[in-house]
Structure 1
Amino acid sequence: MNNNAIIVFGSSRRHGYTGQLVDEVARRHQLRIVDVSDYQMTPYDYEQRNRDDDFLPLMREVASYSQIILASPVYWYTMSSQLKVFVDRWNDLLTIEKDLGRTLRGKSGLVISTGGDVRPERSFAECFMHSFQFMGMSYDG
């Protein structure tokens, strides 16, 4: 983990186990935490009727870091719905904001998570891995 990293956190409970872990990692490494629940973002829309919500300004900030850490508890074998909306909106970076999307290439992506199992299902890690790789980022764990 480098000091030019940001944590993008999404959960139904800000101070649950994942939130506590995120706070500790951020404290130890002096990282900024962005809680997607603090932003007005709507799901991806093929007609781009949501261009004026908070996603693009937030994404511009996130893209300014060299390492992007996504943090979510394991919910039904995948990320939380709060974080899923954020990741789904990366589609905007492939269509209407391609220049911003290109700035993600070569960046490092990591995941922080907690769940009830000792190891999450492979599908959990794969959704992050494939999302990072699709955007031209490395998946670093």
Structure 2
Amino acid sequence: MEKKNILVLTGSPRRNGNSDKMAEAFIKGATTAGHEVTKFETARKDILGCKACNTCWSKGTPCSFEDDFQELTTLLEAADAIVFATPLYWFSFSAQIKAAIDKMYSYLGKDCKRPLKIKESVLLVCGGDDELEVFEGINTSYKAIAKYMKWQDRGVVIVPGVSEKNDIEGTKFLEEIEKLGKSI
């Protein structure tokens, strides 16, 4: 198995919550398998949403507006695989991680100076609802993003019924996520 550079984007504003524990389980598995892994906490950064100005790369950077997305661009450009670890917010990604995803638009235009080399992706999502149907929106969005970006979907782990901090502890999911990290 070749060594990969994996970027794990987290989206929870809650420190050390259930989605952070999912990210850490994945990271443990991936590093055990010999991969280089970087975690980027979007909720600890100031990333504005895409303004649809279509001035991407006009200042030599993917986004012409200065915010913490510029810090993320170096990591995105070095990554072979990307993992999204997020809580479910209104049937989709949290706003914090969604802002970063939206700005990846800059890598799709004809003016892109440094195309992404990401080939694989993973979605780790948790939420307080017990019904899996409420996760259909984020799963559909993720699958569409992966297809559009031409990323191979390496797995989706949906963790229902975890609302309070540490609810994920003692479930089967952290072990499942660690195994996924080892397999990527």
Cross-structure match for 1:37:
43
Q: 1:131 aligns with which of 145, 156, 173?
A: 145
What's the counterpart of residue 103 of structure 1? 116
Matching of residues 13-92 of structure 1 within 5 Å: 13-30=14-31, 31-47=37-53, 48=55, 50-92=64-106
Question: What do you get for the CA RMSD once the two structures are aligned?
Answer: 2.5
CA contact (8 A) 1:3 1:29 kept: no
- Asked if structure 2 preserves the Cα contact closer than 8 Å seen for 1:5 and 1:65, the reply is yes
Q: Which amino acid aligns with 2:89?
A: Y
Gaps of 5+ in 2: 32-36, 56-62, 156-184
Tell me the amino acid that sits aligned with residue 18 of structure 1.
S
Larger radius of gyration: 2
Residue 118 of structure 1 deviates from its aligned partner by 5.3
Q: Which runs of 5+ in 1 are unaligned?
A: none
Q: Is the 8 A contact 1:55 1:86 kept in 2?
A: yes
**Matches of 1:135 and 1:74, distance apart in 2:** 22
Name which of structure 1's ranges 84-93 and 48-57 shifts more when overlaid on structure 2. Answer: 48-57
Paired residues of 1:104 and 1:136 also in contact (CA < 8 A): no
Name the aligned partner's letter for residue 73 of structure 2: M
Deviation, structure 1 residue 51: 2.6
CA distance in 1 between partners of 2:5 and 2:64 (Å)? 29
Candidates 114, 121, 127, aligned match of 2:126 = 114
Displacement of 1:115 in angstroms is: 1.5
Q: Which amino acid aligns with 1:5?
A: I
Q: Give 1:104 deviation, angstroms.
A: 3.8
Task: Output the CA distance in 2 between the equivalents of 1:44 and 1:96.
Answer: 17
Partners of 2:43 and 2:96 within 8 A in 1: yes
Deviation at 1:29, TM superposition (A): 2.5
Superposition misfits of 4+ residues, deviation over 3 angstroms: none
| TM-score, normalised via structure 1 length | 0.82
Q: Percent identity, please.
A: 19
